[in-house]
Amino acid sequence: MNVIETSDLGKRYGHTWALRECTLTVPAGYLTALVGPNGAGKTTLMNMCVGLAVPTAGTAGVLGGQPAGSPAALDGIAFVAQDAPVYPNLSAGDMVHLTRNLNRSFDRSYARARLAELGIPLKKKAAKLSGGQRAQLALTLALARRPQLLILDEPLAMLDPLARQDFMATVMTAMADDGVSVLLSSHALAELERVADYLILLSRGQLQVAGEVDDLLASHRVLTGPAAESDACAGHFRVIQARRAAAQAHLLVSTGGTDPDSGLVPPGWEAHPVSLEELVMAYLRAPGGAEPPDHSLTRYNEPREVAR
């Protein structure tokens, strides 16, 4: 089952497209990292998947094809918006009571037990809680709905490192124990690299890349070699980002699924694996994409050493 499916999805505000021509599928069981700069369309995409915004173009379906925003879809999705929204003048216990009354399905016992485990007093007003406690309260209320899909919009932005770790531990436990799928928007690339199974990268209101993290990392390399020969080397791959100095060039390339050891890397060049952060930053810095390579070019078969 796919927890999210979009086809040519777009949202326009006035004359400005916040998101356009977004077609993707997100399988169940993954922690999907949704990344991109401010204004890339991340929140717009999440809002349309939840049903908080109506598409200008295209369609969005969730949980095996349910229309986004439909009653059946809403019963299976929990959404935590930015800044861990809770009513500051209500106590944690009041928030549990209110959320229970506003939802057709809510595990009150789980919520109270989880707050007790976290040391969050039920009588304490949300305004008096720390940032980490407010985030945990919002997450607990979301998980008590027993969702199939948990959508989190920048939940880590205002948290200190310890609170981030505790928050993500709760998310990972929910995935392992309850089979919850997660869509997480965040700028914390180093932390996402440790937990993300799937990546969606948006930039300039458009989808740049999407797929399983392991597959994406396997199909990209950093090539290093003589700067004078960089254009010839680049002709074999789709170049995402190029950095050239006087003597040496560094090219982050998409191999198009071709094994970089199969003969396309010229003599004198080395291929190195990329990190998730390097991959994301390269796509974000790309001026507008590159032409796909012509893999019919002659392969280099001379012996060479290629770093894996």
Residues 197 and 243 in one domain: no
The CA distance from 146 to 89, in Å, is 26
Rounded to 5°, the CA angle 251-254-255 comes to: 110
Eight-state DSSP code of residue 239: E
The CA distance from 280 to 35, in Å, is 8
For the chain, give the longest Cα–Cα distance: 73
pLDDT band at 292, cuts 50/70/90?
very low
pLDDT band at 267, cuts 50/70/90?
confident
Residues 192 and 69 in one domain: yes
| DSSP symbols for 77-113 | EEEE-TT----TTSBHHHHHHHHHHH-SS--HHHHHH
- CATH assignment at residue 95: 3.40.50.300
Strands 238-244 and 248-254: antiparallel
Residues 46 and 79 in one domain: yes
Over 90: is that where the pLDDT of 215 sits? yes
Q: pLDDT per residue over 105-148, tens digit each?
A: 999 999 999 999 999 999 999 999 998 899 999 999 999 999 99
Residue-level pLDDT at 264: 65
Residue-level pLDDT at 274: 92
pLDDT band at 291, cuts 50/70/90?
very low
Residues 125 and 94 in one domain: yes
Residues 116 and 154 in one domain: yes
Among 67-76, 80-89, 111-120, name the one with the lowest average pLDDT: 80-89
Residues 205 and 230 in one domain: no
- CATH assignment at residue 248: 3.30.70
Over 80: is that where the pLDDT of 265 sits? no
List, in sequence order, the alpha helices (H) in 103-247.
108-118, 131-143, 161-178, 189-195, 213-218, 230-234
Residue 299: inside a domain, yes or no? no
| Tokens (6 digits) for 263 | 């003969």
Among 70-74, 153-157, 277-281, name the one with the lowest average pLDDT: 153-157
Of 212, 233, 255, which one is at a domain's C-terminal end?
212
Residues 75 and 142 in one domain: yes
Q: pLDDT per residue over 22-70, tens digit each?
A: 999 999 999 999 999 988 999 999 999 999 999 999 999 999 989 999 9
User: Span 70-74, mean pLDDT?
Assistant: 90
Q: How many domains does the chain have?
A: 2
CB neighbourhood size of 173 (10 A): 12
Residue range(s) defining the domain that contains residue 237: 219-285
Three-class DSSP labels, 105-123:
CCCHHHHHHHHHHHCCCCC
The CA distance from 301 to 134, in Å, is 59
pLDDT band at 286, cuts 50/70/90?
confident
Residues 205 and 246 in one domain: no
Residues 239 and 131 in one domain: no
Residue 185: inside a domain, yes or no? yes
Enumerate residues 6+ apart whose C-beta is below 8 A from 84: 131, 134, 135, 137, 138, 139, 155, 158
Residues 153 and 94 in one domain: yes
